[in-house]
């Protein structure tokens, strides 16, 4: 059976598909062209989301192990004191997007769930290759735990959350917290996470629909890991799918679209978490590509996905 895109999502994405068909994709490794194009595309779509009026944003800073300052934004729904908090890591293939492109997304998650989000302005590749980005995010997690009392947060109710590359880094931070003995995490919420640097062979059924292509993926991992990408010595904190022991990790929520090149690695990671005794919920959405809810927020499948993520945020 041939795969097909969800009709509502296909309609919303038709202008993007038409524009892409009229252009020649940049070659593998051309991160500059990709960064400019995708930042503009994602920023345009998320900027069209109506910002909730009941979310307050405050700026904070943490200091990384190498002395670098890490910016963070705390999103809190007015009047709420839920006692929980999610450290949010934005997506972008390891080398693009920003805390600004995902600002509307964080506002909406906070509005829908009532759970505060601490978004991390981490350094990304290729200007700052591994381990800068994931270490920055771990620094933000430590800051959240250390400042839990003044934030009104129960230190036992802190989670990590991220989308795409940010989902991969959230999984990496969960591994770090386990291996380093702190802080304890209540959950990991992984939205179509980028987990495996070995995803380098195009699936002919998925590639025609891919909003994040195999060439994009090879470029992203190359930015992060250089020549080590795809080789035998890739660290598990960079590519969590490389970890063979997934025991002792916090409960996981994972979602991914059927037309996403991350589908197989995400489903495999969920299955291996379950076999390791970790509580896991997997949502596999039919007929949708990577970042479907960004481009088609009003589609029924996007509303279902946002509702499920909201429930995951409220569950811990």
Print the domain residue range for 94.
Answer: 7-314
Q: Does residue 290 carry a catalytic annotation?
A: yes
Contact 176, 142 (CB under 8 A): no
Q: Does residue 260 carry a catalytic annotation?
A: yes
* DSSP alpha helix (H) spans, 226-299: 263-275, 292-295
Residue 1 has pLDDT above 80, yes or no: no
Residue 264: inside a domain, yes or no?
A: yes
Average pLDDT over residues 158-162: 98
**Both structure tokens of 71:** 């910016």
Among residues 164, 213, 241, 302, the one annotated as catalytic is 164
Among 20-29, 188-197, 233-242, 260-269, the least confident range = 20-29
Contact 148, 111 (CB under 8 A): no
- In CATH, what number is assigned to the domain containing residue 131? 3.40.50.1820
Residue 263 has pLDDT above 90, yes or no: yes
Q: Which of the four pLDDT bands, split at 50, 70 and 90, describes residue 81?
A: confident
**Both structure tokens of 106:** 């964080």
Contact 194, 93 (CB under 8 A): yes
pLDDT at 80: 82
pLDDT digits (tens, 9 = 90+) for 98-154: 999 999 999 999 999 999 999 999 999 999 999 999 999 999 999 999 999 999 999
Among residues 119, 197, 290, 302, the one annotated as catalytic is 290
pLDDT at 116: 98
pLDDT at 299: 98
Report the C-alpha gap between 14 and 65 in whole angstroms: 45
pLDDT digits (tens, 9 = 90+) for 296-309: 999 999 999 999 99
Residue 169: inside a domain, yes or no?
A: yes
Residue 2: inside a domain, yes or no?
A: no
What is the number of structural domains in the chain? 1
Residue 283 has pLDDT above 80, yes or no: yes
Among residues 136, 260, 266, 302, the one annotated as catalytic is 260
Residue 1: inside a domain, yes or no?
A: no
Contact 78, 55 (CB under 8 A): yes
Q: Does residue 164 carry a catalytic annotation?
A: yes
Residue 229: inside a domain, yes or no?
A: yes
Residue 71: inside a domain, yes or no?
A: yes
**Both structure tokens of 186:** 């209540």
Residue 315 has pLDDT above 90, yes or no: yes
Report the C-alpha gap between 313 and 316 in whole angstroms: 7
pTM, two decimal places: 0.98
- Exposure of 10 by Cβ count < 10 A (0-12 exposed, 13-18 middle, 19+ buried)? middle
Residue 298: inside a domain, yes or no?
A: yes
Residue 120: inside a domain, yes or no?
A: yes
């Amino acid at each position: 059976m041939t795969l097909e895109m969800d009709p509502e999502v296909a309609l919303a994405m038709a202008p993007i598909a038409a524009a892409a068909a009229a252009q020649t994709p940049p070659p593998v490794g051309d991160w500059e062209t990709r960064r400019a194009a995708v930042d503009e595309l994602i920023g345009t779509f998320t900027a069209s989301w109506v910002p909730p009026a009941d979310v307050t944003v405050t700026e904070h800073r943490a200091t990384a192990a190498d002395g670098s300052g890490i910016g963070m934004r705390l999103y809190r729904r007015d009047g709420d004191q839920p006692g929980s908090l999610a450290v949010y890591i934005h997506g972008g293939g390891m080398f693009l997007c920003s805390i600004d492109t995902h600002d509307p997304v964080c506002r909406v998650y906070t509005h829908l769930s009532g759970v505060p989000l601490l978004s991390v302005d981490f350094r990304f590749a290729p200007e700052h290759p591994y381990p800068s980005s994931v270490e920055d995010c771990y620094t933000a997690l430590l800051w959240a735990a250390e400042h839990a009392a003044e934030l009104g947060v129960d230190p036992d109710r802190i989670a990590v959350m991220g989308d795409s590359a940010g989902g991969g880094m959230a999984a990496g931070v969960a591994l770090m917290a386990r291996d380093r003995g702190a802080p304890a995490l209540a959950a990991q919420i992984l939205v179509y996470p980028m987990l495996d640097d070995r995803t380098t062979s195009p699936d002919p059924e998925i590639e025609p629909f891919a909003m994040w292509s195999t060439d994009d993926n090879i470029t992203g991992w190359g930015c992060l890991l250089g020549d080590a990408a795809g080789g035998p010595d890739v660290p598990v904190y960079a590519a969590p799918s490389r970890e063979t022991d997934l025991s002792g990790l916090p409960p996981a929520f994972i979602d991914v679209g059927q037309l996403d090149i991350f589908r197989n690695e995400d489903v495999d990671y969920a299955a291996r978490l379950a076999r390791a005794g970790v509580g896991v919920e997997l949502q596999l959405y039919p007929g949708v590509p990577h970042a479907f809810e960004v481009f088609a927020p009003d589609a029924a499948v996007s509303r279902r996905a946002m509702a499920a993520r909201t429930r995951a945020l409220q569950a811990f």
